[in-house]
Structure 1
Amino acid sequence: MTTDVWAEGDGYEAYVGRWSRAVAAEFVPWLGVPAGARWVDAGCGTGALTEAVLTLAAPASVLGVDPSGGFLATARSRLPAATFELGSAEALPVADGAADAVVGGLMLNFVPDATAAAAEFARVAARGAVVAAYVWDYADGMELMRHFWAAAADVDPGGAALDEGTRFPLCRPEPLTELWEDAGLADVTVRPIDVPTRFASFDDYWRPFLAGQGAAPGWLATLPPSRRDEIRDAVRARLPIAADGSIALTARAWAVRGRR
């Protein structure tokens, strides 16, 4: 049983949305989509990837689709140039072959059926269109979560089964390649995208975990305050905190790209 929570956009932004933006800034140019294209951002969340498309790709249009009304409210308030619709990545509200680029950021591992989602990406893509996505390297390179789960396992071993590194074997190069190829996509490539995640203080790092948005924060919210405090202290002891109180970590995402 999972405790993932996706409801309130501002809490998610503080947790990982801000780091997703840095990944999206490298991801969008890597796709090489010409200006004037029709984009679909499946599982758009609060709009980190949508914003990068609007800023960097000169699109004719961008449609963001997400099942969370709360996340879409945040996206709409920030990005009036895009269109947003409530919906699922496994059943996109888009006609066959209507998109020149179909993308998804940090969502493939959370949809109930990633195979169905990949097939939908391919369905709505025009011939020759780019189909791409990125996910966190939960098992290794997403340091802010790795420190949390390592400390949490020491304090409350019952939470280990919820660790995204264990739950999401999809988030590695080989499974991503297989998923894209099985969807009938050609010229499939996977690459890492590494971005710095610098926190001004331990409070800057820890406060987003208390907002209840996402997997680790959602689980933390189910614990009694005393247990949350134990985990907080265990995390603090593990982190590389500099003399000025700042914490310099890195986050790796795996990006997959193919063509219809």
Structure 2
Amino acid sequence: MKEQRFDVWAAAAAYERFMGRWSRLAAEEFATWLDCADHLRWLDVGCGTGALSAAVTARCRPRMVVGVDRSEAFVGSVRVPGPVSARFLVADAMSLPVRDGAMDVAVSGLTLNFLPQPTAAVAEMARVVRPGGRVATYVWDYAGGMSFLRRFWDAAVAVDPSAASLDEGRRFPVCRPERLHRLWADAGLVDVSTAPIEVPTVFADFDDLWEPFLAGQGPAPGYVASLAPADRDQVRDALSAAVTRRPDGAIALTARAWAVSGRRPVRAAAR
């Protein structure tokens, strides 16, 4: 069974229901953590449905925002607030349609681990920022801090041990602060720092948690879509047993992401 067949990103509304509502909260925290100056030129790599571009536009007063993503459906759904120069293009993160040094900041939200060559992707982001420009990203802490996905995969593996190979906590070792720091340093970036970003993920009830897993967007929902109905019901029941409900039926969890930032070096002028 090939893992990659479950990494489906094609339906913007389904993604918003499954992950977008939480990724928007993380994007706002990330933009605040970056604390960049106003009127900069931003590139959003793997912009998806626009969570990070919207947060940057609202909090950072950019001069311009350019977003790129491989999903035509996602790019077509992006909306950013306010009067800002913004363009969103269908393009590959591994070959950015931006000239060298054209941007002040290159960012990426929840995308790096899905790229075939993360090292090359970071190098591409570094290429397009000016000397002294920022390169930054954040990724979910799939191994332990992304609570509802951690509980899902633990439940799935209890029912179907073969699901362990699809668990993002195993598939994406780059989603840890020490690996991110090393990746940035290996790309030649300086002033590298990492930080946790934690946001609440409160579900109104179990259906609010479970139903987005049925929409087929992303590795876990893709796996659920591949199951026979009886097996799907077993995973649902195992997940239901694994979460704690408040008296009103709500399920209050948290989601942690790891953020990393660095700068393209400013080389001293030759004597």
Give 1:79 deviation, angstroms.
8.6
Contact 1:47–1:79 (CA<8 Å) still a contact in 2?
no
- Paired residue type of 1:244: D
* Secondary structure in structure 1 of the residue aligned to 2:112: coil
Are 1:12 and 2:8 counterparts? no
- Paired residue type of 2:221: P
Q: How does 1:13-92 map to 2 (within 5 A)?
A: 13-76=16-79, 81=84, 82-92=86-96
- Paired residue type of 2:44: D
Give 1:77 deviation, angstroms.
8.6
Cα offsets for 1:43-92 (capped at 9, x unmatched): 01011001000100000110010001111121159899521001111111
Cα offsets for 1:5-49 (capped at 9, x unmatched): 110111111111111111111111221221110000000101100
Cα offsets for 1:229-248 (capped at 9, x unmatched): 11001100000111211000
* Secondary structure in structure 2 of the residue aligned to 1:15: helix
Query: Where in structure 1 are there 5+ consecutive unaligned residues?
Result: none
Cα distance in 2 between the residues matched to 1:80 and 1:227? 49
* Secondary structure in structure 2 of the residue aligned to 1:147: helix
Contact 1:143–1:249 (CA<8 Å) still a contact in 2?
yes
Q: Which of these two proteins has the greater Rg computed from alpha carbons?
A: 2
Deviates more, 1:67-76 or 1:112-121: 67-76
Are 1:137 and 2:137 counterparts? no
Distance 1:169 1:59, change over 3 A: same
* Secondary structure in structure 1 of the residue aligned to 2:238: helix
Show the counterpart of 1:128: 132
Distance 1:76 1:180, change over 3 A: same
Residue 216 of structure 1: which of 213, 220, 229 is its match?
Answer: 220
TM-score by length of 2: 0.93
Cα distance in 1 between the residues matched to 2:245 and 2:153? 17
Number of matched residues? 260
State the identity as a percent: 57
Deviates more, 1:236-245 or 1:37-46: 236-245
Cα offsets for 1:144-189 (capped at 9, x unmatched): 1001000000111111100000000000011100110111100000
Cα distance in 1 between the residues matched to 2:173 and 2:76? 31
Q: CA RMSD in A?
A: 1.3
- Paired residue type of 2:60: A
* Secondary structure in structure 1 of the residue aligned to 2:223: helix
Show the counterpart of 2:156: 152
Residue 192 of structure 2: which of 188, 193, 200 is its match?
Answer: 188
Show the counterpart of 2:234: 230
Contact 1:177–1:189 (CA<8 Å) still a contact in 2?
yes
Contact 1:212–1:218 (CA<8 Å) still a contact in 2?
yes
Contact 1:67–1:87 (CA<8 Å) still a contact in 2?
yes
Are 1:206 and 2:207 counterparts? no
Cα distance in 2 between the residues matched to 1:188 and 1:37? 20
Distance 1:58 1:114, change over 3 A: same
